[in-house]
Amino acid sequence: MDTDNQTSTVTTEKEIIDIVAKQHEYFKSGATKSYQSRIDNLKKLKSALIKYEGEMHAALKQDLGKPEFESFLSETGFCVHDISTTLSKLKGWMKPKFKLTSLLTQPGTSRVVYSPLGVNLIIAPYNYPVMLTFAPLIAAIAAGNTAVIKTSELTPACSAIIRKIINETFAAEYIVHIEGEVNETTILLQQKFEHIFFTGSPRVGSIIMAAAAKNLTPVTLELGGKSPCIVHQDAKLDIAVNRIVSSKFLNAAQTCVAPDYVLVHKAVKEEFLSKLKDRIITVYGEDASTSPDFARIISDNHFQRICGLIDQQKVTVGGQSNAETRFIAPTVMRDVTLTDKIMSDEIFGPVLPVLEYDDIDEIYSIVDQLPHHPLACYIFSEDSNFQKEIVNNIQSGGACINNCIFHAANHHIPFGGVGESGMGAYHGFDGFECFSHKKGVLKTATWIEIPLTYAPYGNKINLLRKIMK
């Protein structure tokens, strides 16, 4: 496969139409389907990610003010580890999975064969531009597909290095990066893909789904939602506070699975709030704008939106901001109610509202009244019955017990939303499966002929009833 032909960016409508057509032709050639092809391309991508790690970290710093540690943990290191896991497991994933064969279809054998979907469109967001571009791409390659990549116009530095990596590593008929904004995305959505993978907001997700419906294109939507963090009265508060602060303010809380709000039992609310304030100051200092470990808001529009959610009369720590640097301090608001503006939608910024509850029914009532199914639910408690009760009764995409967000870092369990927070799941084998068609195959023996289902039927129905009861 010649990778020297991908030297310019693809932006015009004709170029987009041509490259999608070429990807369809390339996929039909079968070049992407073999185990060796998948392995070789994953290895090339891994080498490129390692080679350009420093440039990616610099781009993440430029676009999001992201500390190098966070860039490695949640972006570059995550992707390299994802490829390593995939390389070690792919042969087993590709093997047909044998299933039971029903009595009616005997004698025979049954299996599920995983076949690649074809040409995929992957639309990545701004908040984790490296990880949320390459993680689905890794799955697409592992499953034997081609892919068109569209990154966010809000992260120009990251888009430039992603484009550089893709251009140097792959031919455009296999993997291609497309620049642009709404117009280019609109043109892309008018093309025929076998699958669209989108990460972003529920609002845009509905637009993607409507566009995909015109071509009957299946979609995977990784969206957002107001993810509750429940701190029960028996929680180990020091541990809870450490983990909530770390996960909430990672990437300045521009994280789809960040705890959106805390529901704390009224018996421990004051102690929790005191420890929360102390921990934020310990981690980020009295003036978080000078901390080397705190990111910035992606754009002026998002900065203004988040600032508009803060009720300074309810702020117990933080509340400062700087429009010039798009800095918003790690902020906690206390005594928040469902009528406060900050509870009207996903925050996606470093403001943590704290509400109190008295019993478990109050938890359910609060969660049910908020928009969207939560993408995640976090439970801090030492009571296994309470943990089980919450997991079983709050419908969320995923959950963590005595931690936050790290379920998304485990490649051995699926990651995805439910309802308004998304559809479909990926990571690890679930990512391979997401970009594959599960083809059911029945092989019937020829050493005997059983004419049960052949006409004339006569009184065969009596035997059929016994078999199918």
pLDDT by residue for the chain (469 residues), tens only, comes to: 544 445 446 678 999 999 999 999 999 999 999 999 999 999 999 999 999 999 999 999 999 999 999 999 999 999 999 999 999 999 999 999 999 999 999 999 999 999 999 999 999 999 999 999 999 999 999 999 999 999 999 999 999 999 999 999 999 999 999 988 899 999 999 999 999 999 999 999 999 999 999 999 999 999 988 999 999 999 999 999 999 999 999 999 999 999 999 999 999 999 999 999 999 999 999 999 999 999 999 999 999 999 999 999 999 999 999 999 999 999 999 999 999 999 999 999 999 999 999 999 999 999 999 977 899 999 999 999 999 999 999 999 999 999 999 999 999 999 999 999 999 999 999 999 999 999 999 999 999 999 999 999 999 999 999 999 8
Name the DSSP class of 456.
Answer: P
Edge-first strand order for the sheet with 261-265 is 315-317, 331-333, 351-357, 261-265, 228-231, 376-380, 398-401
Question: What residue type is assigned to position 10 of the chain?
Answer: V
Contact 338, 318 (CB under 8 A): no
Edge-first strand order for the sheet with 119-123 is 175-178, 146-150, 119-123, 195-199, 219-222, 422-423
Question: What residue type is assigned to position 149 of the chain?
Answer: I
Owner of token pair 């939507």: 221
Catalytic residue among 70, 194, 222, 356: 222
pLDDT at 276: 98
Q: CATH classification of 228-411 is 3.40.50.150, yes or no?
A: no
Catalytic, 75? Answer no
Catalytic, 256? Answer yes
Catalytic residue among 79, 256, 400, 404: 256
Q: Indicate the pTM of the whole model.
A: 0.95
Q: Which helix (H) or strand (E) holds 99?
A: strand 97-99
Strand runs labelled E in 134-281: 146-150, 175-178, 195-199, 219-222, 228-231, 261-265
**How far is Cα 448 from Cα 422, in angstroms, rounded to an integer?**
48
Q: What is the largest CA-CA distance in the chain?
A: 87
* Residue among 345, 350, 330 at smallest CA distance from 127: 350
Contact 156, 184 (CB under 8 A): no
pLDDT at 40: 98
Owner of token pair 């020091």: 238
Q: Which helix (H) or strand (E) holds 165?
A: helix 156-169
Q: Which helix (H) or strand (E) holds 355?
A: strand 351-357
**Cis omega (within 30 of 0) for bond into 456:** yes
Tell whether the torsion through CA atoms of 274, 279, 282 and 284 is positive or negative: negative
**How far is Cα 465 from Cα 9, in angstroms, rounded to an integer?**
63
**How far is Cα 342 from Cα 151, in angstroms, rounded to an integer?**
29
CATH for 13-223+422-441 (3.40.50.720, 3.30.390.30, 3.40.605.10, 3.40.50.970): 3.40.605.10
Domain ranges for the chain, please list them. 13-223+422-441, 228-411
Burial 261-299 (b: 16+ CB within 10 A, else e): bbbbbeebbeebbebbbebbeebbeeebeebeebbbbbe
Retrieve residue 31's tokens.
């070049």
CA dihedral 261, 329, 403, 50 (to 10 degrees): 130
**How far is Cα 179 from Cα 16, in angstroms, rounded to an integer?**
10
Q: Which helix (H) or strand (E) holds 114?
A: strand 108-116
CA 330 centroid distance within chain: 24
Torsions phi, psi for 401 (to 5 deg):
-110, 120
pLDDT at 59: 98
Could you please report the per-residue DSSP string of 37-83? HHHHHHHHHHHHHHHTHHHHHHHHHHHH---HHHHIIIIIHHHHHHH
State the Cα angle at 255 between 254 and 259, rounded to 5°. 110
Retrieve residue 30's tokens.
């079968």
pLDDT at 1: 52
Question: What residue type is assigned to position 425 of the chain?
Answer: A
Report the chain's C-alpha Rg in angstroms.
25
**How far is Cα 299 from Cα 64, in angstroms, rounded to an integer?**
9
Contact 262, 229 (CB under 8 A): yes
**HSE-CB for 101 with a 13 A CA cutoff:** 14
